[in-house]
């Protein structure tokens, strides 16, 4: 099981224009190759008037499955440059489809490589990348009077807050790296003078924006 991964933040689209050709990059989070193929066919159906619908995707914890297609562009000028961007950004379980509407000006092989790779790069910057880390859930139960102090502490620490539940007390679900569990307990105990309850939850992946 991976301890961390990078992937696109959410499904989304980003468009750029180069010498009157439109390059529309659509990014998707995917789980299976079947899902990737269905999405690619749906994009082709939606943009059936486009000159090309090129794609690239990486699947698996170690990006074991890697696929790309030039969809009629000169060999090696579209799919491979797109795939190389996904690999360079160290993403997993991500599909990129770049739809091109030809604007009348030939870009040449080098121009196409830059255009398709650049379209994916720009889309990733626009939509965002998240880092998922395998962490331990810890439920921290405090009185309402302690809530603001705890929230402020967490906001200025390396610990992550996943959720907050308000009952007769406040229950904060914190996501903690396994090697920081002891330090977290010590920090919270010192902060609240031992006036808290701690209980372990599940181990799960917690995602937050990755700034590289």
pLDDT digits (tens, 9 = 90+) for 171-188: 999 999 999 999 999 999
Determine the distance from the C-alpha atom of residue 47 to the mean position of all C-alpha atoms in its chain, rounded to a whole number.
Answer: 25
Mark whether 137 and 203 lie in a shared domain: yes
Range of the structural domain that residue 147 is part of: 131-209
Tell whether 119 and 25 lie within a shared domain: yes
CA 127 to each of CA 10, 32, 81, 192, 197: distance values in angstroms, whole numbers, following the listed order: 7, 21, 19, 39, 39
pLDDT tens digit string along 34-80? 999 999 999 999 999 999 999 999 999 989 999 999 999 999 999 99
Q: In this predicted structure, what is the pLDDT of residue 212?
A: 74
Domain boundary among 104, 127, 150: 127
Q: Do 112 and 150 sit in the same domain of this protein?
A: no
Q: Are residues 148 and 109 in the same domain?
A: no
The three-class DSSP label of residue 182 is helix
Q: Encoding tokens for residue 205? A: 């992946």
pLDDT tens digits for 129-177?
Answer: 999 999 999 999 999 999 999 999 999 999 999 999 999 999 999 999 9
Q: Domain boundary at 98, 127, 156, which?
A: 127
Q: What is the CATH number of the domain that holds 164?
A: 3.30.70.240
What is the distance between the alpha carbons of residues 168 and 186, in angstroms, rounded to a whole number? Answer: 25
Q: 153 phi and psi, to 5 degrees? A: -60, -50
Q: Show which of 127, 159, 185 is a domain's final residue.
A: 127
Residue closest to 85 by CA, chosen among 34, 123, 39, 59: 123
């Amino acid at each position: 099981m991976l301890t961390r991964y990078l992937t696109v933040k959410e499904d989304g689209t980003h468009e750029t224009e180069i010498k009157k050709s439109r390059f529309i990059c659509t990014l998707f989070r995917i789980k299976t190759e079947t899902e990737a193929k269905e999405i690619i066919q749906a994009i082709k159906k939606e943009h059936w008037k486009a000159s090309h619908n090129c794609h690239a995707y990486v699947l698996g914890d170690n990006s074991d499955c890697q696929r790309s297609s030039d969809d009629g562009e000169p060999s090696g000028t579209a799919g491979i440059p797109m795939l190389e961007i996904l690999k360079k950004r160290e993403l997993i379980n991500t599909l990129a489809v770049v739809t091109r509407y030809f604007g009348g000006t030939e870009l040449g092989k080098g121009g196409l490589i830059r255009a398709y790779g650049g379209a994916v790069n720009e889309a990733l910057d626009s939509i965002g990348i998240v880092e998922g880390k395998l962490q331990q859930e810890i439920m921290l139960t405090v009185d309402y009077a302690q809530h603001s102090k705890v929230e402020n502490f967490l906001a200025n620490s390396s610990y992550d807050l996943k959720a907050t539940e308000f009952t007769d007390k406040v229950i904060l679900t914190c996501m903690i790296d396994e090697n920081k569990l002891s330090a977290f307990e010590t920090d919270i105990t010192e902060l609240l003078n031992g006036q808290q309850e701690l209980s372990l939850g599940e181990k799960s992946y917690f995602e937050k924006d990755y700034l590289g």
